[in-house]
Chains A and B, each alone.
Chain A
Amino acid sequence: MGTDPGTLAASVRSPDERDPAWPGRVTWLLASLVVLWPLLVLTEFRPWAMLDARSLHATARFLAGFAPPALDADFLRTVAQQTWRTVAIATAGVSLALLLAAPLALISTAALSISSLSGRMATLPFVVRQAARGLMVALRTVPELVWALVFVRVVGLGPTSGVLAIGLTYGGMLGKVFAEIMESSDAHPTRTLLTNGGGRLQAFFYGLLPQAAPELTSYTIYRWECAIRSSVVLGFVGAGGLGQQMASSLSMLAGNEVATMLLVFIGLVSLADGASAWLRGLLR
């Protein structure tokens, strides 16, 4: 690069060619380094530790095990089974979440408030709506992995805790977003139905749902895709599926099995990604 006349000239530029913003840039760079330093200390960030002979050796041995991936029929059958379990846990979890989210969204959405048609929402409905919202906040604030850890203690290892964990966390997320989608759709048909004496459910089915259905479905499909990813992760704490298999292969340092599962996993996630994008494209 030294022979490049452009680079050479850059160091001896005349003042009017210099970057006019350089003092600011240098200041920000130095300031961010000062802020970053304690963070690096806190995270014990020492990449060179990975380069010492012992840890390099362990890494190399583990990575060398990756090729060739484990492809014997028995193991592939197990992986196929676990893959289905992963998908099934995600699907069952999202179904459960829908059962939880639909009523919570209906209760909490302000779009179906009768009292707010004439000015402000009355006190009791306001309190009930806030309570439903609070419940959803509580459900989705606890990470699903923590729910799973807790449920594994109560119901034991197996898919039940995974399904429950996804059901609770995703119930809170779906309910919140469902309520928001309904509030952001055109309020006119719903209000007309409500002012003419329609019930809340009637107003929902004939006023809100027809408008909001594509968006609601699309968001649910997107969350299903996320749930597949979570369901792999939940396996690590014993909730069944690919994650559990992966954790056990990892603890035995069986690199070839890990390699197979990583490939299956990347395939599964891109498949879910594609399926979800395709289905959501249909709805548009």
Chain B
Amino acid sequence: MSAKPHALERLPYRLIALRARAGWALLITLALVVASFWSLDLQWSAFWSHDSMVAMARFAGEFFPPDVSPAFVQKVAQATAETFAMSAVGTLLAALFGLLLALPAARTHAGALWRVPTRLLLNALRAVPELVWASLMLIAAGLGPMAGTLALTLHTTGVLGRLFAEAIENAPPGPAFALRAQGARPAQILLYATLPQVAPQLLSYTLYRWENNIRAASILGVVGAGGLGQLLSYHLGLFQMGRTATVLLATLALVLAVDTTSYFTRRAMTR
């Protein structure tokens, strides 16, 4: 699609180019999808076979009845509380570190010397998912919820740091300018002009990530980082399906509770 001589009128040229581009995009997408299905050795025949259907039905049947003995339910409740605490502490620490990193990452507060490495750090933190961080943190922090909390902190710091930096950059410059004209120091400008302006936005980003992190925390334990996931992988590994079912139900209840709460909060706030 090299540039056409300008004798061609502008409108038809753009239309053709647009269609050509859409065509190419479609072709590439199709090729990617076909190549994906072709290169993966997917065992559809095995999956849809009679044997595996029977196995799946039996597997699903073993989930019933869930184990509801008081001792185990108490254990699950403890794990649910742990999951909740992991997400809360992780998000809070991430908001703190995110804010600290957002200042050098924001164009309004720092030169390129600080901005570029900070942005790189934020991107790297963000690119590695929580579960990968958790499995790395196990080595430093050992098995248990602290590894999970730290993993949530690391990933969320990357996400929030970038969002915070953008929020700070987009804050209206008027109040900061007024303070600067009065001779205020940079720290005072930050505390009394920039932060109060962006605080609601930062808070809503943090709450949104918290919502995500409760979901994430419920599965981090699969690699041994505490919470509901740890119980899940433990009992599933031992084929104690009744107990697995209880843990699954608790996970679903937690996720649903978070989703409903955030749905109604949002609706109340937009109304």
Q: Residues of A with Cβ closer than 8 Å to B?
A: 6, 36, 38-40, 42-47, 49-50, 55, 58-59, 62, 84-85, 87-89, 91-92, 95, 137, 141-143, 145-146, 149-150, 153-156, 158-160, 163-164, 229-230, 232-233, 236-237, 240, 243, 246-247, 250, 253, 258, 262, 265-266, 269-270, 279, 282
Question: Restricting to B175-192, which residues have a CB under 8 Å from any CB of A?
Answer: 185
Tell me the bound Cα distance from A38 to B84 in angstroms: 11
Q: Is B156 an interface residue (CB 8 A)?
A: no
Contacts of B9 in A (CB 8 A): none
Q: Give complex CA distance A45, B89 in Å.
A: 9
Chain B positions within 8 Å of A149 at CB level = 222, 232-233, 236
Whether B128 pairs with A265 at a CB distance below 8 angstroms is yes
Q: Which residues of B contact A (CB under 8 A)?
A: 21, 25, 32-33, 35-37, 39-44, 46-47, 52, 55-56, 59, 81-82, 85-86, 88-89, 92, 123-124, 127-129, 131-132, 135-136, 139-142, 144-146, 148-149, 185, 215, 218-219, 222-223, 226, 229, 232-233, 236, 248, 251-252, 255-256, 259
Contacts of A6 in B (CB 8 A): 185
Q: Are A91 and B36 in contact (CB under 8 A)?
A: yes
User: Complex Cα distance A216/B156, Å?
Assistant: 27
Q: In the complex the two chains form, is A42's CB within 8 Å of B40's CB?
A: no
Is there contact, CB below 8 Å, between B36 and A155? no
CB distance from A194 to the nearest CB of B (A): 28
A89 touches B142 (CB 8 A): no
In the complex, 9 of the A-B residue pairs with CB atoms within 8 angstroms, ordered by the A residue number, are A39-B85, A42-B82, A43-B82, A45-B146, A89-B40, A143-B255, A233-B131, A237-B222, A250-B135
B43 near A160: Cβ-Cβ < 8 Å: yes
A92–B59 touching, CB < 8 Å: no
* Number of CB contacts from chain A to chain B under 8 A: 158
**Contact between chains at B36 and A43 (CB < 8 Å):** no
Neighbour of A85 across the interface among B33, B40, B129, B232, CB < 8 A: B40
A6-B185, A92-B36, A266-B124 as given contacts; A146 in contact with B219, CB under 8 Å: yes
Across the interface, name the chain B residue whose C-beta is closest to A279. B25
CB contacts (< 8 Å) of A62 on chain B: these are 139-140
B63, closest chain A residue (CB) = A150
How far apart sit A279 and B92, CA to CA, in the bound complex (Å)? Answer: 34
The answer to whether A58 touches B132 (Cβ under 8 A) is no
Given contacts A42-B81, A141-B256, A153-B59, contact A262 B128 (CB under 8 A): yes
Instruction: Determine the chain A residues whose CB is within 8 A of the CB of B248 once the complex forms.
Output: 142, 146
Q: In whole Å, how far is A240's beta carbon from the nearest beta carbon of chain B?
A: 8
Known: A154-B59, A155-B43, A236-B223. 11 other contacts (CB 8 A): A38-B85, A42-B81, A49-B141, A55-B141, A59-B139, A59-B140, A88-B39, A92-B42, A142-B248, A279-B25, A282-B21
Shortest A50–chain B CB gap in Å is 5
A84→B43 contact, CB < 8 A: no
Taking CB atoms, residues of chain B closer than 8 Å to A159 are 40-42
For A91, list chain B residues within 8 Å (CB).
32-33, 36
Measured CA separation A253–B140 after assembly (Å): 12
CB-based contact A265/B127 at 8 Å? yes
Q: Which of B37, B41, B127 is most buried by chain A, counting CB atoms within 10 A of its CB?
A: B127
The answer to whether B132 and A232 have CB atoms under 8 Å apart is yes
B140 to A232, Cβ gap below 8 A?
no
Which of A38, A42, A87, A282 is close to B25, meaning CB atoms less than 8 Å apart? A282
- In whole angstroms, what is the CA distance A159 to B185 when docked? 57
CB neighbours of A163 from chain B (8 A): 40, 42
Q: CA separation between A243 and B232, bound complex, in Å?
A: 19
